[in-house]
Amino acid sequence: MNPNSHISYLEATARRRIAGLLDPGTFHEFIPPTLKRVSPHLGLFDAPVAFDDGAIIGDGKLDGKDVYVFAQEGKFRGGSLGEVHSAKITGLLRRAAQRKPAAVIGLFDSGGVRLEEANAGEIGATEIIRGIFDAQKAGVPVIGLLGGGTGCFGGAGITSCCCDALIASEEGRLSVSGPEVIETVMGVEAFDSRDRALVWRTTGGKNRFLFGTVAELVDDHIPAFRSAVIGAMTAQKPLRVADLKQDLERLKKRIEAYGECSDATQIWQKMGLDAENVAAMSSQELKAEKEHIVKI
């Protein structure tokens, strides 16, 4: 049985992901690496820079429709939000609010704010969030993809949840606090960050999908992400106060239902799933199972 027929999203570089996602040959990069807009801060730390500061932005076509896209390179400084990195994404979102493409697609792969750039990175994250809201207010859906090896943590985690829809593979991770941080603060008995099965049970694509944070669970296969994005392009998360209040109620109910659970497997059991088997299920199997579960 040869499982190696997939075109791995996880393994691909950010550029390769964009190339595989969009209609062939349609990607045009804004602020390309030839302009060498590098980080103005990393030199202080005697650290190497990247010509695109780990963020690639541009436009192209997806299924014939005009889209904007940004992709974080998770392998450059953990895909972290630096000043230039964030400014590029923010600029793309602001242009989207003006020019109104069919959607903005964000390929998240980031550990959060770049520590070396401190406040510039924090501000960058907030500007991206405002950028997402402005695009949405202009009627442009923002679709987020989670499937890279760095995951989507910290400021990036928060930012990604502002998207209209999230599409993830089981290898993708989404959280605010990273595993090591949780362990440091809560102790290793509460959360052993080296127990990678635990980390993925808690923050991985499958659990986020079962919780409804992620709308679509796909295989680690670039064409699968592409299909899912095409299907999600009309998604629009309501941004009215009433909808947000309703969502808060939902979250309260969720804590009531699952707050006593100390592991994802307990939650899955309560949802009505064969909890021991979830990790081994394929995304199709899990999607089928999700139809029957208790939805909160």
Partner 1 sequence: MSDKHAIRNRKLAKVRQAFGEGKVIATERTVELLETVIEPGNRIILEGDNQKQGDFLAAQLARMNPTKVYGLKLCVSSVGLPEHLDLFENGLATELDFAYAAPQAARLASMVMKGTVKIGDVHTYVELYSRYFAELRPDVVCLVANETDKEGNLYTGPNTEETPPLAESAAFGGAIVIVQANKIVDRVRRVDIPGAWVDFVVESPKPFHLEPLFTRDPALITELRILMAMIAMKGIYAKYHPKVLNHGIGFNTAAIELLLPTYGAELGLKGKACTHWALNPHPTMIPAIESGFVEAISCFGGEVGMENYVASRPDVFALGRDGSLRSNRFFAQMVGHHADMFIGATLQIDSQAHSSTFTAERLVGYGGAPNLGSENRSRRHRSEAFLKAGAEAHDGEPMPQGRKLVVQIVETFQSAGKPTFVERLDAWDAMDKAGFSTPPVMIYGNDVSHIVTEEGVANLLLCRTPEEREQAVRGVAGFTPVGLKRDRRMVEKLRDRGAIQRAEDLGIRKSDASRDRLAARSVHDLVRWSDGRYQPPSRFRNW
Partner 2 sequence: MENLSFEFEGGAKPLPVGAPYVVVGIVASSNLEVLAERKDLGGKCRFEIATAAANFSDAWKAVLIDFMDRSKPRDVLFSINDFSAIPPVVSLRLDQALEQLSCS
Q: Which residues pair with 110 in a beta bridge?
A: 152
- The option from partner 1, partner 2, none interacting with 43 (CB < 5 to 8 A, set by class) reads partner 2
- The option from partner 2, partner 1, none interacting with 273 (CB < 5 to 8 A, set by class) reads none
DSSP readout, 80-98?
-B-HHHHHHHHHHHHHHHH
Tally the C-alpha atoms within 13 A of residue 149's C-alpha that lie toward its C-beta.
12
Work out how close the CB of 148 gets to partner 1 at its nearest, in angstroms, rounded to a whole number: 11
Radius of gyration of the chain (CA): 19
Q: Residue for token digits 């959607």?
A: 103
The 8-class DSSP code of residue 70 comes to: E
**Closest to partner 1 by CB, 8 or 177:** 8
Residue 221 contacts residue 9 (beta carbons within 8 Å)? yes
Residue numbers at the binding site for partner 2 (CB under 8 A): 13, 15, 32-34, 36, 43, 46-52, 73, 75-77
**Closest to partner 1 by CB, 127 or 219:** 219
The angle subtended at Cα 31 by Cα 26 and Cα 35, nearest 5°, is 125
- The C-alpha atoms of residue 252 and residue 236 are separated, in whole angstroms, by 23
CB atoms inside a 10 Å sphere around CB 175: 20
- The option from partner 2, partner 1, none interacting with 242 (CB < 5 to 8 A, set by class) reads none
Q: Residue for token digits 């991206």?
A: 128
**Closest to partner 2 by CB, 9 or 76:** 76
- The option from partner 1, partner 2, none interacting with 4 (CB < 5 to 8 A, set by class) reads partner 1
**Closest to partner 2 by CB, 101 or 111:** 111
Work out how close the CB of 48 gets to partner 2 at its nearest, in angstroms, rounded to a whole number: 5
**Closest to partner 1 by CB, 1 or 242:** 1
Residue numbers at the binding site for partner 1 (CB under 8 A): 1-4, 8, 10-11, 149, 170-171, 194-198, 200, 204, 206, 279-280
Work out how close the CB of 171 gets to partner 1 at its nearest, in angstroms, rounded to a whole number: 6
Q: Kindly give, in sequence order, each residue whose CB lies less than 8 Å from that of residue 217, ignoring residues fewer than 6 positions away.
A: 168, 169, 170, 205, 206, 209, 283, 286, 287
**Closest to partner 2 by CB, 30 or 211:** 30
Work out how close the CB of 105 gets to partner 1 at its nearest, in angstroms, rounded to a whole number: 24
